[in-house]
Structure 1
């Protein structure tokens, strides 16, 4: 009975201590190997001592060492190429920022909580956010990196222990020169020291004055190269488009003498430089050794770009001529933006976003309101400006929301502004080109008021007499006949009585269009009075062509007009004569005018040849 109880106790002990049985099995092997090595050299004994120390560590991990690791082990798979931390790590907020790595690693600093995907951790200056996570890889075919896709983060420090127990630390962030990062990049990119088959625990310390909501991503070297190729393509398209727009605007500003193109170039240049700062391009390539300026430029340059944008919009919609008060409002806001940019350089870093966000929001809302007001007052370009400003306003709202701590760091909060500006650039250039053409056309009309009719664009009576005199001389020299016509609108008073008065004012414009469509490219049409037109028809002309010209003009003017009643038509009377007729231009016009003046008001006849 006692022997049976002893055997049962032994079986129970074996079931409860499987690890001890494995150790009992391994100890004789270790003992024999050690005795065998006693006869060797000291150097050989040290070699085997190190080997069996590693074996002992592996055995400890197998027997229960995994319980000491923080959270689940993330297995890095080279086939996937990328893995996010999401909820597989733990976080702890150091409220006073005084905790050191030793106390954090010992677990005595504070209580850890599981990480949450997309969570925004509120941080203030002087505080620190700690993450811990455990990684493992099956082989060493790929190098792995920790990506913190937040170019504006102040400082991140990655720590882990080497096999000898020494801490390895790597630091990156805006408060450190990019050239001093372990791997200079657009955003913190830290190499991971891993041993295949062995879980490795890491600690990440984050310092940032505006909170932290960036995802932590573990990326293989192959996937990192692929991502950089995609990012390089997108950024290259944006900055190439911005550079081309600046060059075209500067080339157009001087010949056209249009300040809008110069303001456009300045605005796009400052916006592109701001985006270079926000995406980390500027810190990597323009000032890699200027840590202070790299940190502050991403906040100081956007308000300067908005200041230039306000002046640009005011110039495009001719705001000084439309409303001095509105122009003064934009001028004050522009100066406020420049003052905010200067203040950001001087104040405590914790106040930078508090200054930037209100100024940017107020300026953008004021710009949209002023442009909408100009569109409501009939500005032909303000509507397109509003359409162009929509993607910029939407793109700017996402980074501002991230700075305010409302949104986590993501692709859209980082690149939405670039996408909005890329859509905006060609639209603004199209508006500037259309505006320039309109200004040139207006300038030509103003310079040609002494030779053209401002309402119809036809030549006036003075130019008509000049051309008629040349036509008489040319026809006599070439010995052929040309035709001169005077066209009067005879039913203006009846139309004014039977229809809306404003339609009667519109009728001469409609008749001018009909006469232009009836004339050939080398013929001339002129407006001689409110309801009188003149035409010069170049010869040589046959008798049939001369006889058909007058009736053809009458028939064309009697055709109904679109969107008008059938009765609303122009009844015209045409007097014409052939030149040369032995008289000068003024006498020819006087003869035709006398014929038309003698026609009775109730006459049904419409064409009057003059011999």
Structure 2
């Protein structure tokens, strides 16, 4: 029995020894393995730390760096910088790394944490003699307390000799994040800062120029949409400046509380405002009422989320913010893709504007929800996408404004313009006609009045239908506009009759020069119509230098003159002729006896409703007196009009 008892006792001791080795082996191995030193040599003037970092979690109020150095707060453990730090309102994490420079390397170095929105970073450098130098940075720390003011925490330290120096960083933030660390010499870091500031300044300067351009457009047009877009551009500029860290550096360096709060508030307002702007410019309330309500309430919801941190804990609010940032771009992309597939003119521009910034915001939201790893360079892409979207959205807004102005202009012109041809309605044209005749009578202003008719319109309608006839009528209006000036009023008097007032026309020859071109263009077959169709124009006109017509009856008189033109007439232009008066016979002077007779022969005054009063002119030689044929004294159209006139 004693032999078996010794064997069991020995086996038990062996099992205990193995178990003890398994338990304390990793601890001893960690204690035995020294911390890797970051070698700072001339070949690596700037690099990102990837290994050789230890971490220590701290809960509750901190006791300073001395207890941490002495191990009173616990032992450090190896840390992977690609892992997210477990941070919170009452939780902080200490990071420890050891650096050592070579004899050929500059003693002045900078360690930076390229995260502008981090709450607080405490930097401690402990040299070989135990001397401790401390620095602070973060958006909850006033810029005056930063040792090196920058867009994100920068800490400058000096390595006086080649012995190792321990660096401790206390990281504090309201939510867990990944913290990248970069080391660089002072010279190299200044070059990096210069490049970053040039890039960020260029983008921010572009936004400022766009803001000024929007202000000028609003000042010129007084359009409310332009004014609200100016406010939107200003908000996007603040969002970009906050994301770059320039807002904390330039705009509110001495208000750390607002600087910390603005990192959340401004992006929320940016996403909500972008959604509301998309709703406004795409006019979803008419075609997609359900989508319109979703966009409206989603955009307004950013205001409630801004106040969320005062109601719930900041960690819960951060999760809700991440969900909002994730849903906003998805909703915008869905809307723009839907509009693009419809083939509208705005769909492609809206998609080009919202797609790049939507992808950037999606990636940032994924980082907040711990779906993607933290990439500090992604904010530069987001800023570039936002800057690119501003002019694209401005162009889309311009197109939308032009469409709305065109619709409102057509609505306002519905009472003054013909719906089919766009010419003035009869009442409006009569007002221009009365004004032209009054000017000709009182100011001797030369002008002419004409009625132009498409003589074969009824034939085209009977043979080819109403649709083709209306197309021909529109082609006739286009041809008519080519011979008119912008100041010449034109109106639609009947189905195929148009009235025009030609200012500055003092003779029949000047009138014929214009109308010959109109008649000749009508004889050219209209393109795209089969069989070939030509337009036959008939014109009746009056030159106001020759005749002063009655404005109330002149259109009827010209209409009668127009009806006298045969369909196949070779004289498609007719003029209203002045009245020819015979000279009074000469009688010998017989004292006072002739005066009563002259008074009796004086015709009564002509009322305004009678036909036009013609200007008396000397009696020309008539055809009967000269013996010439009548055709020599009839109106002819100068120039050959070609066959079929």
Q: Judge same fold: TM > 0.5, yes or no.
A: yes
Is 2:353 aligned against 1:388? yes
Instruction: Give, in angstroms, the shift of residue 120 of structure 1.
Output: 4.2
Asked if residue 339 in structure 1 is aligned to residue 320 in structure 2, the reply is no
Q: How far, CA to CA, are the matches of 1:559 and 1:361 in structure 2?
A: 62
1:593 counterpart = 2:554: no
8 Å CA contact 1:487, 1:533 repeated in 2: yes
Counterpart selection for 1:425 from 390, 398, 412: 390
Deviations 1:363-422 (A, max 9, x none): 333344445666777875455333322333233233223323344444641222221221
In structure 2, relative to structure 1, the CA distance for the partners of 1:479 and 1:85 (3 Å cut) is closer
Alignment map for 1:225-374 (pairs within 5 Å):
225-250=190-215, 252-253=217-218, 256-320=221-285, 325-370=290-335
**Per-residue deviation, 1:150:** 0.7
- The yes-or-no answer on 1:572 pairing with 2:536 is yes
Deviation, 1:189, is 0.7
Matched, 1:583 2:546: no
Residue 23 of structure 2: aligned partner: none
2:84 aligned residue (121, 130, 144): 121
Instruction: Give the Cα separation in 2 of the matches to 1:227 and 1:419.
Output: 18
Aligned pair partner of 2:426 in 461, 469, 474: 461
- Is the helix fraction higher in 1 or 2? 1
Deviation at 1:264, TM superposition (A): 1.9
Change in CA separation of 1:177 and 1:260 when aligned onto 2, cut-off 3 Å:
same
1:248/1:544 CA distance change after superposition, 3 Å? closer
Consecutive unaligned residues in structure 2, runs of 5 or more: 1-31, 577-645
Describe the superposition over 1:249-298 as per-residue Cα deviations: whole angstroms up to 9, x where unpaired.
Answer: 45655774533233323323333323333322233334434444322321
Query: What is the distance in 2 between the residues matched to 1:343 and 1:158?
Result: 32
- Within a 5 Å distance, the mapping from 1:85-104 to structure 2 comes to 85-87=49-51, 89-92=52-55, 94=57
Q: Secondary structure at the match of 1:533?
A: strand
Aligned to 2:160: 195
Q: Does 1:148 align with 2:113?
A: yes
Per-residue deviation, 1:72: 4.5
Q: TM-score, normalised by structure 2?
A: 0.72
- Gaps of at least 5 residues in structure 1 are 1-66
Offset of 1:571 from its aligned partner?
1.6
Residues 416 and 425 of structure 2 are in contact (CA less than 8 Å); yes or no, is this contact kept in structure 1?
yes
Structure 1 residues 452-500: Cα deviation after superposition (integer angstroms, max 9, x where no partner): 3344443332333333344445556787975433233345566567768
Distance in 2 of aligned mates of 1:320 and 1:177: 46
Q: Shift of residue 82 of structure 1?
A: 1.8
Over 3 Å counting, the alpha-carbon distance change for 1:218 and 1:335 in structure 2 is: same
Distance 1:255 1:311, change over 3 A: farther
User: Mean alpha-carbon deviation: is it higher for 258-267 or for 442-451?
Assistant: 442-451
Cα pair 2:540 2:558 within 8 Å, conserved: yes
Question: 1:514 offset after TM fit, Å?
Answer: 1.7
Query: Larger deviation: 202-211 or 508-517?
Result: 202-211
Q: Could you tell me how far apart the structure 1 residues matched to 2:179 and 2:472 are? A: 68
After TM superposition, the structure 1 stretch with the greater mean CA deviation from structure 2, 104-113 or 511-520, is 104-113
Residue 104 (structure 1) shift: 6.9
Classify 1:360/1:568 alpha carbon distance in 2 versus 1 (closer, same or farther; 3 Å): farther
Q: Distance in 2 between matches of 1:547 and 1:180?
A: 88
Deviation at 1:605, TM superposition (A): 6.0
For 2:261 and 2:442, locate their aligned partners in 1 and report how far apart those are by CA, in whole Å.
80
Alpha-carbon distance in 2 for matches of 1:80, 1:537: 84
Tell me by how many angstroms 1:187 deviates.
0.8
Cα deviation, residue 175, structure 1: 4.1
In the TM superposition, what is the alpha-carbon distance from 1:339 to its structure 2 partner? 0.6
1:211-236 Cα shifts (integer Å, max 9, x gaps):
43343211222223223333333333
Structure 1 distance, partners of 2:424, 2:363, is: 56
Partners of 2:116 and 2:446 in 1: how far apart?
81
391-400 or 466-475: bigger deviation: 466-475
1:146 positional shift: 0.1
Counterpart-to-counterpart distance in 2, 1:333 and 1:468: 57
What is the CA deviation profile of residues 105-160 of structure 1, one whole-angstrom value per residue up to 9, with x for unaligned ones?
769725425x56xx343534226263423231435756211011111223333333
Q: Single out whichever of 579-588 and 477-486 deviates more from structure 2.
A: 477-486
Task: Give the 3-state SS of the residue equivalent to 1:224 in structure 2.
Answer: helix
Contact 1:381 1:435 in 2 (8 A): yes
CA distance in structure 1 between the aligned counterparts of 2:487 and 2:227, rounded to whole angstroms = 41
Aligned CA distance change for structure 1 residues 478 and 144 (closer, same or farther; 3 Å): same
What corresponds to 2:78 in structure 1?
A: 112
After superposition, the Cα gap between the structure-2 partners of 1:510 and 1:215, relative to the gap in structure 1 and judged at 3 Å, is farther
Residue 510 (str. 1) matches residue 475 (str. 2): yes
The 8 Å contact of residues 263 and 309 in structure 1, kept in 2 or not, is answered as no
Q: What do you get for the CA RMSD once the two structures are aligned?
A: 3.8
Displacement of 1:191 in angstroms is 1.6
- Distance in 2 separating the partners of 1:501 and 1:363: 51
- Once the two structures are TM-superposed, the CA of residue 569 in structure 1 deviates from its matched residue by 3.8
Partners of 1:396 and 1:434 lie apart in 2 by: 26
Q: Could you tell me how far 1:349 is from its partner in structure 2?
A: 2.7
Aligned pair 1:451/2:393, yes or no? Answer: no
Secondary structure of residue in 1 paired with 2:101: strand
Paired position in structure 1 for 2:47: 83
Q: What SS does the corresponding residue of 1:553 show, helix, strand or coil?
A: helix
In structure 1, how many angstroms separate the alpha carbons of the residues matched to 2:525 and 2:164? 89
Other structure's SS at 1:416 match: helix
Confirm whether residue 413 of structure 1 aligns to residue 378 of structure 2: yes
Q: Quote the Cα distance in structure 2 between the aligned partners of 1:558 and 1:359.
A: 66
Structure 2 counterpart SS, 1:146 = strand
Give the match for residue 579 of structure 2. none
Whole-angstrom CA distance in 2 between matches of 1:146 and 1:500: 84
What's the secondary structure of 1:192's corresponding residue?
strand
Contact 2:96 2:166 in 1 (8 A): no
